[in-house]
Structure 1
Amino acid sequence: MFELLKNLSLLHGPCGFEQPVSKWIRDYVKPFVDEVMVDPMGNVIARKKGDKSGVRVVLTAHMDEVGFIVKSIEPNGFIRFEKLGGHDDRILLAQKVQVRTKKGYLNGIIGTISAHYTKFDDASKVRNHRQLYIDIGAKDKEEAIRLGVQIGNPISWAPSIDFLGNETTGKVVGKGFDDRAGCAVIIETLKELQSHSFSGEITMIFTVQEEVGLRGAQVAARQVDADVAIAIDTTAVSDTPEEMMDKSLNLGDGTGIKIMDFSLISHSSVKDHLLKIADKREIPYQLEVFPGIGTDEGAMSLANKGIPTGVLSIPSRYAHSPVEVIDLMDLEATKDLLLQFVLSLHPEMEFSFL
């Protein structure tokens, strides 16, 4: 799945500006589904019917990534920016970014002072992002405009993906894994389903604007009537040495089966079915209780009369940074469990609360 993840993660698609991702996914999945469309919000919605009647299942992952947007252009050509999604101001300095304009992509750097000036600065100070700027090499505002910069241009981290260490570690580092990794899982599951018989109908929803309040999912949820839904998203591990980490979720220990987060308490029958399959198929998993994160299933679970929902989480280090890290074994485990979940559905299956 590395090549699929690579193709997806290198795409430029901050919140509200997912057009390159929407187009790529729409075109890529078209041969594998019965129908695919992009709704007015930008969500990609694809449907595939099984060869037998049965359960209607929704699979979701979000296409957007955290990013920035051009707020103004300074007389000296520097760009002031606002955030799209959640960022930690402590990691912004000296990072490479990519500005998308109508004329093409521009390489930029979030500026910082030279080390020689630190003796004149407060070393403990963390500057707010509104005090920072992006340098695209323009000598003045007029040159920046000639290069294509306009107020409202979207900005992402500079595209990158590589193995962490080398290929033997099985770990990859790059930007946009949240949640292009989830998109990759659903697409790979769809591809593998081509050689299987399954019941019911699958609706795959690749959503927009998850990082700014599950907005795409709220719109998409009103367009579906389903019996069960599963979201695929990354989640922050707690296996690094910082004092707040509790080692409850680890990189390389398998997919996360969510119990709860701040947007969702997983439906018990869906969660139990995922656990049953994982145990039977010997798919490595971890149980996830993490109130510090939310997913599209928070919106999907509230659709219509309520849809029984569950979440599979891909463990990730350094989320919302240009150097997110995931383990390819966790990615495969997530795909394996999702595939087996779909194949396990039969016409009489119900996900009741009692």
Structure 2
Amino acid sequence: MFKTIKELTQLAGPSGYEQPVTSYIKKRADSVADEITVDAIGNVVASLKGNRPGPKLLLTAHMDEVGFIVKKVESNGLLRFEKLGGHDDRILLAQKVTVRSKSGERLGVIGTISAHYKKFDTADKIRDYRQLYIDVGAGSPEEVADLGIEIGDPVTWATTVEHLGSEQTGKIVGKGFDDRAGCAVLLRLLEELQSKNFAGEIIALFAVQEEVGLRGAKVALANLEFDIAVALDTTAVSDTPEDVMDNSLKIGGGAGIKILDASLIAHPAIKDKLVELAKKEDIAYQFEIFTGIGTDAGAVTLANKGAPTGVLSIPSRNAHSPVEVIDLNDLEAVKKLLVSFVKSFNEESEFIF
């Protein structure tokens, strides 16, 4: 799983510019799916049929990450930028970024004033991102052009995946776990079910543009038919000392079983089945009630006459930052619970409200 996450997260694919991730997922899923399609905006849909009759299960994870886009080139070669997805302006200063140009990836930094200027500044001021800039080492628009950088080029964090502390902690740090971690789980699921020893059909949707309003899922769902659905996504934990935290969701606490978020009230029968299976299989789990987040499940539950929909969440610290942290044990718990869920189906399986 670690290798898959590392390969996925080293790709630069913010919302609307997921081409490298779409290509990777298509190639990876092509050998383990019965059928695979890519639509005009980059959504990948892979289907796998079991060896006996049963329901059609939609499983979805989004492939885009939060990022930026080059908006303007200043006369001194600095780049102004616009956001792609949700960011906290407080963490933007002095961060390394990658500009994905037609000539290749270019390293940049989001600039900040030197510490020596602090006494001349307002100490508690948080600068709006519109006041910030990306420095790619150029001194003029011409030098920016020589680097192959143009207005409209996508920008992502320039961090790689590493073990946090050591391999023994089980935790990893990097960018884009939201939601390449979910994509990794979904790819592993397809690979583990190659025996087709399950009932029904899996429809795996790797969606684009989730971070800008669930747009990719909304497009894909117009062309998909399914009976039940489960979305996979990361979720923000509340186990650190900040005063807004309530310690209701912990990293290392197991798979998150969604009850409620800003986009979805999870279907009670889906939630109950996941809890039943987690207890039966001795899989670590925890409940999630958090209105500060939304997932593609919000779009799914409104499609196809309201198919019963749930969410399995991967606990994460420092979400939407260059140093997101997840626990590989939580990731494994999500994968095991999802496999158990798929294998629990038979021809009579239904989820009644």
Q: TM-score, normalised by structure 1?
A: 0.99
CA distance in 1, matches of 2:270, 2:51: 23
Count of matched residue pairs: 353
Name the aligned partner's letter for residue 32 of structure 1: V
Q: Any conservation in 1 of the 2:238–2:250 contact (CA below 8 Å)?
A: yes
Q: Which residue of 2 aligns with 1:275?
A: 275
CA distance in 2, matches of 1:221, 1:260: 22
Q: Which residue of 2 aligns with 1:98?
A: 98
CA distance in 2, matches of 1:311, 1:250: 17
Deviations 1:94-150 (Å, cap 9, x if unpaired)?
Answer: 000000111111000000111111111111000000000000001211110111111
CA distance in 2, matches of 1:252, 1:213: 29
CA distance in 2, matches of 1:331, 1:69: 30
Q: Which residue of 2 aligns with 1:60?
A: 60
CA distance in 2, matches of 1:158, 1:53: 46
CA distance in 1, matches of 2:265, 2:222: 20
Q: Which residue of 2 aligns with 1:247?
A: 247
CA distance in 2, matches of 1:159, 1:12: 11
Q: Any conservation in 2 of the 1:252–1:329 contact (CA below 8 Å)?
A: yes
Residue aligned with 2:307, SS: coil
CA distance in 1, matches of 2:145, 2:75: 11
CA distance in 2, matches of 1:179, 1:304: 24
Residue aligned with 2:351, SS: coil
Q: CA deviation at 1:152?
A: 0.5
Q: Which residue of 1 aligns with 2:21?
A: 21
Deviations 1:68-109 (Å, cap 9, x if unpaired)?
Answer: 000000011000000000000000000000001111110000
2:288 corresponds to 1:288? yes
1:192-341 equivalence runs, <5 A: 192-195=192-195, 197-341=197-341
CA distance in 1, matches of 2:93, 2:262: 30
Deviations 1:149-200 (Å, cap 9, x if unpaired)?
Answer: 1111000001411011011100000000000000011111111111451111
CA distance in 2, matches of 1:212, 1:5: 22
Residue aligned with 1:32, SS: coil
Q: Which residue of 1 aligns with 2:161?
A: 161
Name the aligned partner's letter for residue 68 of structure 1: F
Q: CA deviation at 1:292?
A: 0.5
Q: Any conservation in 1 of the 2:256–2:314 contact (CA below 8 Å)?
A: yes
Name the aligned partner's letter for residue 181 of structure 1: A
Q: Which residue of 2 aligns with 1:142?
A: 142
Q: Any conservation in 1 of the 2:226–2:304 contact (CA below 8 Å)?
A: no
Residue aligned with 1:6, SS: helix
Name the aligned partner's letter for residue 282 of structure 2: E
Q: Which residue of 2 aligns with 1:172?
A: 172
Name the aligned partner's letter for residue 65 of structure 2: E
Name the aligned partner's letter for residue 214 of structure 1: L
Q: TM-score, normalised by structure 2?
A: 0.99
Q: Any conservation in 1 of the 2:76–2:139 contact (CA below 8 Å)?
A: yes
CA distance in 2, matches of 1:101, 1:10: 16
Q: Which residue of 1 aligns with 2:84?
A: 84
User: Which is worse superposed, 37-46 or 235-244?
Assistant: 37-46
CA distance in 2, matches of 1:11, 1:289: 31
Q: Any conservation in 2 of the 1:301–1:309 contact (CA below 8 Å)?
A: yes
Instruction: Kindly report the root-mean-square deviation, in angstroms, between the aligned alpha carbons of the 2 structures.
Output: 0.7
Q: Any conservation in 1 of the 2:254–2:283 contact (CA below 8 Å)?
A: yes
Identity of aligned residues (%): 62
Q: Any conservation in 2 of the 1:56–1:202 contact (CA below 8 Å)?
A: yes
Q: Any conservation in 2 of the 1:11–1:159 contact (CA below 8 Å)?
A: no
